[in-house]
Chains A and B, each alone.
Chain A
Amino acid sequence: MTGAPEFSRRTLLVAASAGTLALTGCTSFSDSDPADEVTAAQVDQLAGQVTAQEALVAAYTAAFAASPELAAQAAGLAEQCSDQLARLRAAAPGAPGPATGTPPAAPPGDPRATLRAAVAATAASHAAACPDFSGARAALLGSLAAGLRGQERLLA
């Protein structure tokens, strides 16, 4: 496999009566796995999910500009969000590169509440898109949605 993003996947192994709880295993995108094939429509849909995640990264930037306190508290969440974007771009054939341009304006109202709403909306978007895919891309979108739900909880 060349140029394909890899990710580890832990699997809970439930052993027998003398067993133990252990985490192991891995998987990756595959050029030969039919489950990882995408249609033209799915390529477009993945590009849309990339755009949604880019908007969330921008929302973090805007919220942090409006609230230095929030920036100090939630820098790790923004970093995770950027990591998600990188993985999503790698999973999206033909996805555009990183967006450039002026940073978004500070959102009106409470930056934390605005950011939380953006996180929730992006989580819902990835969760809704997830069942439209199969294989590693379904796994990735589902995981991203879950990760963002965790962020939403923390921003509450």
Chain B
Amino acid sequence: MSADVLAADDGPDPDAARAEEDAALQDALAAAHAAIWGHGVLGGALPEADRPVVVAGEEAHRDVRDRVAGLLRSRGLQPAAPRAGYRLPFPVLSPVDAAALGVVLEDGVAAAWVTVLGRAVERATRELAVTVLGATELRAVDWRTRAGRSPVTEAFPGL
């Protein structure tokens, strides 16, 4: 049989796999941008006593944003920029609403990083993802507690 008849199977395309990882990282970066923006809303809806929690969460998301943006730049890619604006999924009129928004933000970030785990070809990327995912779930537990959710833990965060 001529070699021209059938296409060669050289296994997975490494460039395509790397592109999938990069796309997942861009989505995770977009989720970080959204979470940073959302923390501004949280800060306005929660009492002053809760400000350290909001600040710590926002700083964590900024750290992840900077790390992912740097990683993408090192690969010659333009990191996703924050959107000009976002629309809240529901009105945030009370501390409980704010906590519920905190859950939405952290769960969204968790989903993005689980996607990174599923698509990453670089071990270092998976190491970053599992670290970020764990920290995100810890914050989500705190927000679910404040929001009066039950249960406050999830068996499969991000899945």
Interface residues of A (CB under 8 A from B): 7-12, 14-23, 25, 27, 34-35, 76-77, 80-81, 83-84, 87, 123, 127, 130-136, 138-147, 149-151, 153-154
Contacts and interface: CB of A to CB of B under 8 A. Distances in A.
Tell me what chain A mostly uses at the interface: helix, strand, loop, or mixed.
helix
A143 B87 contact: no
Interface stretch (B56-64, B70-78, B129-137): B129-137
17 contacts: A10-B158, A12-B27, A12-B111, A15-B83, A18-B85, A19-B85, A21-B104, A76-B150, A80-B154, A83-B156, A130-B126, A139-B115, A144-B156, A145-B133, A146-B134, A146-B158, A150-B152
B31 A150 contact: no
B87 A12 contact: no
Contact of A127 (B109, B130, B156): B130
B155 A83 contact: yes
Chain B interface residue bracket vs A: 35 or more
B157 interface: yes
Interface in B10-66: 11-12, 17, 27, 30-31, 33-34, 38
Closest 7 CB pairs of A and B: A12-B108, A80-B155, A17-B84, A146-B137, A139-B118, A131-B126, A150-B153
Contacts of A34: 11-12
B130 A23 contact: no
Interface of B: 11-12, 17, 27, 30-31, 33-34, 38, 83-89, 104, 107-115, 117-121, 123, 126-127, 129-131, 133-134, 136-138, 140-142, 150-159
A153 to B, nearest CB: 5
Given A76-B151, A77-B153, A80-B153, A14 B159 contact: no
B33 A150 contact: no
A133 B118 CA distance: 9
B121 A87 contact: no
B90 to A, nearest CB: 10
Contact of B87 (A19, A133, A154): A19
Contact of B154 (A27, A132, A150): A150
Contacts of A87: 156
A58 B121 CA distance: 35
A87 B108 CA distance: 22
Contacts of B108: 10, 12, 21, 23
B109 A142 contact: no
